């Protein structure tokens, strides 16, 4: 999740000062934990990833220790989904707040020049492993319907056999790059505990831009979209059919893209997030 915009400190400054500290990702190093414990610093955790595990689903001991330290200090927690909330002790008050996304962003325009469709993925290089999972399916689709694969990241992936366009990520350029896509991709590992902790930020970015999102039917993805209505959810064996269906039908792409944006506007904007977070912090202070 990207940091909430400049409005968050302004709107929540009074609450955050009283609370003393809000820990993003729930990671506190040992030296800081000791200092905060001795000073009586009060903490609210904020995490939208399973920070205790690697992208391959393996527990990372040092990250687990840092997270456990944060939990011991915490008075409450802001969790990106129900699965993340289940990792916390019962004593800890929590609120489920899915990741918000910017909504005043460039919007997808239906292509008119006969060019190949642009399928795209945005994310960190550490998550290339998820995109690589569906390369065989992408190659099969490409044989039927040629397309360009756009990857927006800080590094260029090695994906042989595909017509790849690499777009270096930047905060200024990513929104226009996403709007240039015809279909957005969010594959995940269905069997990974790490995937269950993901909060659908990629899918929500596509949806905010009016780009139809195709995502693995895992965890939070099933809550942020209704398959076939405002997005498309896939089991591992369904990617070829799902992508083929959208590529053959500009009408379906348009309808799903518009419905996806409407869903973001109704549930996943910064305004909605800030209002719910402010109310939660007030409740914590009232106890």
10-residue mean pLDDT series, the chain (287 residues): 41 44 69 77 84 88 88 90 94 92 91 84 95 96 95 95 95 93 96 90 97 96 95 96 96 97 96 92 81
Q: Report how many helices (DSSP H) and strands (DSSP E) the chain contains, helices first.
A: 13, 10
How far are the Cα atoms of 98, 105, 215, 230, 265 from residue 262, in angstroms, in the given order?
16, 13, 18, 8, 5
- Model confidence, pTM: 0.87
Q: What is the pLDDT of residue 22?
A: 64
**Is the distance from CB of 74 to CB of 92 less than 8 angstroms?**
yes
Q: What is the pLDDT of residue 40?
A: 74
CA atoms of 190 and 219, how far apart (whole Å): 9
Q: What is the pLDDT of residue 5?
A: 42
**Residue ranges of domains in the chain, CATH in brackets:** 7-100+269-286 (no CATH), 117-267 (3.40.50.2000)
Alpha carbon 250 to chain centroid distance?
26
Q: Which residues sit opposite 79 in a β-bridge?
A: 47, 96
Residue 53 backbone zone (phi > 0: left; psi -120 to 50: alpha; other: beta):
beta
**Is the distance from CB of 186 to CB of 214 less than 8 angstroms?**
yes
CA atoms of 181 and 256, how far apart (whole Å): 14
CA atoms of 96 and 77, how far apart (whole Å): 9
């Amino acid at each position: 999740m990207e940091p909430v915009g400049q409005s968050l400190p302004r709107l929540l400054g009074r609450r955050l000062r009283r609370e003393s500290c809000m820990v993003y990702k729930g990671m506190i190093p040992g030296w800081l934990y000791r200092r905060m414990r001795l000073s009586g610093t009060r903490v609210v955790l904020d995490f939208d990833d399973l920070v205790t595990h690697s992208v391959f689903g393996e527990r990372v001991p040092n990250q687990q220790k840092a997270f456990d330290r944060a939990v011991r200090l915490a008075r409450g927690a802001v969790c990106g989904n129900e699965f993340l909330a289940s990792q916390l002790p019962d004593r800890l008050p929590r609120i489920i707040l899915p990741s918000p996304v910017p909504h005043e962003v460039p919007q997808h325009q239906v292509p008119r020049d006969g060019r190949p469709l642009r399928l795209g993925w945005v994310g960190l290089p550490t998550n290339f492993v998820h995109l690589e999972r569906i390369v065989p399916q992408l190659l099969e689709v490409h044989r039927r319907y040629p397309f360009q694969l756009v990857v927006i990241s800080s590094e260029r992936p090695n994906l042989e056999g595909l017509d790849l366009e690499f777009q270096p990520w930047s905060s200024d350029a990513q929104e226009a790059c996403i709007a240039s896509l015809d279909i957005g991709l969010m594959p995940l590992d269905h069997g990974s505990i790490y995937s269950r902790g993901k909060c659908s930020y990629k899918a929500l970015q596509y949806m905010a831009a009016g780009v139809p999102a195709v995502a693995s039917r895992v965890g939070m993805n099933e809550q942020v979209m209704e398959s076939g209505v405002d997005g498309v959810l896939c089991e591992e064996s369904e990617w070829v059919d799902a992508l083929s269906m959208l590529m053959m039908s500009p009408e379906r792409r348009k309808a799903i893209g518009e419905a996806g944006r409407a869903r973001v506007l109704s549930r996943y904007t910064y305004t909605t997030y800030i209002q719910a977070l402010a109310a939660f912090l007030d409740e914590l202070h009232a106890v």
